[in-house]
Chains A and B, each alone.
Chain A
């Protein structure tokens, strides 16, 4: 790699050729105030003009996020001209901003407010007309408020990078420009899968999850019996809300916090994940043995289900009929658990803590109502749980480690924990499917071949002398590759795992924001490595578990013995399986 000599503020440095000024300065220990390029260049349109600096050889000030370094370049960040220009850029952004920071839920995590502070920009410097705004709060998952949008385009880039054909785009021209789905529609009336990746990159409060904390408050006032469950990926990231390093597993503290938040029972969605594996692995085996529709495709990710219903309505019989783990869990709480404990299902309120915004939508599906009651009543994201804990005066870091409640539904295996990372459901299902097909455990617990964070992976394994081809996709761009083969009838796979978000649930749209400007203690490449770090937290928990195959979960065995009978039994179908329906994207 060839290097170039540059000077920043008069000091000489050698940096790689081809870097932008912003990247080069970062490697040399300077943090140029900026907005768009906070995000790994994912959205460097060079449009916000916040990162202006002086550079020799350039005409006027340059946007450091897009301007490359060159041999002999002398860069000045601190000159009055550059400082004033950056401040003016931010003040101009603020002039078309709704400026209700105190009411905004992004307060404290807002990059615009952060950059205003460091550039010294003050509101109301330029007062004038504002672009007419749109507030979309029709979906249960995501809210869009264009009055807070700074038109950086990060959401547009993330959506397209993850899912191929993105939902969001710039519309209209000049002062009327907004970022929106076509026709400035609601996400509700567009083929948006509600994954929340746009939310996770939005620098301001323009895109946010729709908070359901008030639903929980109401349930408490109504005296409901409140059961909370936490998805596997939450424990790998919740600590970040409290300044802990990315990749720190916080299972024990999370449980301790939930127990102090007044929930009647604190359980792990992992129990539901083990149950999902029992049903899904047996469904797979049945399909293989009885000539059913193959490949079978996992159905845990509601973002993926939305995508399938919008784009592959003719291929829905490939989807596993299994409900997602938290929905299974909810259905079991309101049936088996209610019966065992003499509780009225109508009076039970199930809260799911999820790394996901699409789960908020999922819980409202008509297909996820069992015997007249919703399986799950409330979905909070990992971020919302962080807010809930902070609001309740709990010092998270000082909490002791505590255990999930352990009656009837508390236990889980290592197989369930890894659901939170791409390839995890596949691996968990293979552990059990192997057992169901051969009557013995696989020699190695781990199926290393299906691990990794690449968007599209495949593996083969021998079971009873038969080769089973499997594939794993995350992000709909990659899912499309597999699904086009399925539609064409050329898919060579028996079993496919698909997750909506790149990296799986660990990087879901409801997880804590990874914003380098707020993470001074993380490595410079944290945007490239955070998925890996969170995944490692889950794999390490799997490694520590004594029981690592879902079928060896004693409480699960008991549940089948006492209540469900066999996997895929009539009762199991009633409670744990669901249906799908093709939907028109622009409706």
Chain B
């Protein structure tokens, strides 16, 4: 845990303390950490383990089970391509591949400049506007392959 800053140790400890009275606090703790830092590396899991008495193995298992949690830092802009059934039949596969081509990364990866992360999402409940893409919470409806370079550029220049 040597690599964690004092501030981070204090913050994560405070997050663990928030749920000290819960019988099963792990999901809540991890959600808060994910929201605060954008990722949950092993050092942080070790600290959570120390604070909660839950083994690192179990925490790691939860972090890798849910796609919401990430082990690595995400980019400034997280591009989530819905690959749910409706989006998929409307061509989301090609949309995803195009993002991958334009950004030069595959799913789950982050560009070297730290700007973009590309994630494949399961149904986000926006089937009426399929194929849907969500970037930092903003949803783009009926995305076509040709729209993608422009969307990426708009964030690069933002």
Instruction: Write the residues of chain A forming the contact surface with B, with a CB cutoff of 8 angstroms.
Output: 156, 160, 164-173, 180-183, 585-586
Q: Is the CB of A156 within 8 A of B46?
A: no
Q: Which of B6-14, B56-64, B83-91, B107-115 contacts A (4 or more CB under 8 A)?
A: B56-64
Q: How far apart are the CA atoms of A160 and B58 in the complex, in Å?
A: 10
Indicate with 1 or 0, residue by residue over B36-62, a CB within 8 angstroms of chain A CB atoms: 000000100110010001111111110
Nearest CB of chain A from residue B17's CB, rounded to whole Å = 19
Count of interface residues, chain B, beta-carbon cutoff 8 Å: 15
Q: Is the CB of A586 within 8 A of B56?
A: yes
Q: Is the CB of A167 within 8 A of B55?
A: yes
Q: Is the CB of B42 within 8 A of A586?
A: yes
Nearest CB of chain B from residue A43's CB, rounded to whole Å = 15
User: From DSSP, what is the main secondary structure of chain B's interface residues?
Assistant: helix
Q: How far apart are the CA atoms of A183 and B49 in the complex, in Å?
A: 15
Residues of A close to B64: CB separation below 8 A: 171-173
Residues of B close to A585: CB separation below 8 A: 46
Q: Is the CB of B57 within 8 A of A167?
A: yes
Nearest CB of chain A from residue B69's CB, rounded to whole Å = 11
Q: Is the CB of A182 within 8 A of B65?
A: no
Q: List 13 A-B contacts (CB under 8 A).
A: A156-B57, A164-B53, A165-B53, A165-B55, A166-B57, A169-B58, A171-B60, A171-B64, A181-B57, A182-B57, A182-B59, A182-B60, A586-B56
Q: How far apart are the CA atoms of A171 and B63 in the complex, in Å?
A: 9
The 8 closest A-B pairs by CB, nearest first: A169-B57, A182-B60, A165-B55, A169-B61, A182-B56, A170-B61, A172-B64, A166-B55
Q: Is the CB of A171 within 8 A of B61?
A: yes
Contacts A166-B58, A586-B46 aside, 19 further interface pairs with beta carbons under 8 A come to A156-B57, A164-B53, A165-B49, A165-B53, A165-B54, A165-B55, A165-B56, A166-B55, A166-B57, A169-B58, A169-B60, A170-B61, A170-B65, A171-B64, A172-B65, A173-B65, A182-B60, A183-B60, A585-B46
Q: Is the CB of B60 within 8 A of A160?
A: no
Residues of A close to B60: CB separation below 8 A: 169, 171, 182-183
Nearest CB of chain A from residue B125's CB, rounded to whole Å = 21
Q: How far apart are the CA atoms of A18 and B58 in the complex, in Å?
A: 29
Q: How far apart are the CA atoms of A167 and B46 in the complex, in Å?
A: 12
Q: How far apart are the CA atoms of A444 and B66 in the complex, in Å?
A: 60
Q: How far apart are the CA atoms of A171 and B55 in the complex, in Å?
A: 13
Q: Which of B53, B54, B60, B65 is most buried by chain A, counting CB atoms within 10 A of its CB? A: B60
Nearest CB of chain A from residue B21's CB, rounded to whole Å = 21
Q: How far apart are the CA atoms of A156 and B53 in the complex, in Å?
A: 16
Closest to A176 in B: B64
Residues of A close to B57: CB separation below 8 A: 156, 166-169, 180-182
Nearest CB of chain A from residue B73's CB, rounded to whole Å = 16
Nearest CB of chain A from residue B6's CB, rounded to whole Å = 19
Q: Is the CB of B65 within 8 A of A169?
A: no
Nearest CB of chain A from residue B50's CB, rounded to whole Å = 9
Query: Residue B42 contacts which of A156, A164, A180, A183 (CB distance < 8 angstroms)?
Result: A183
Closest to A172 in B: B64
Residues of B close to A170: CB separation below 8 A: 61, 65
Q: How far apart are the CA atoms of A376 and B64 in the complex, in Å?
A: 41
Residues of B close to A181: CB separation below 8 A: 57
Residues of B close to A182: CB separation below 8 A: 42, 45, 56-57, 59-60
Q: Which of B53, B54, B58 is most buried by chain A, counting CB atoms within 10 A of its CB? A: B58
Q: How far apart are the CA atoms of A121 and B60 in the complex, in Å?
A: 34
Residues of A close to B58: CB separation below 8 A: 166, 169
Residues of A close to B56: CB separation below 8 A: 165, 182, 586
Query: Residue A160 contacts which of B42, B49, B55, B61 (CB distance < 8 angstroms)?
Result: B55
Residues of B close to A180: CB separation below 8 A: 57
- The B99-140 residues at the A interface (CB cut-off 8 A) are none
Nearest CB of chain B from residue A131's CB, rounded to whole Å = 14
Residues of B close to A165: CB separation below 8 A: 49, 53-56
Residues of B close to A172: CB separation below 8 A: 64-65
Residues of B close to A173: CB separation below 8 A: 64-65
Q: How far apart are the CA atoms of A182 and B57 in the complex, in Å?
A: 5
Residues of B close to A167: CB separation below 8 A: 55, 57
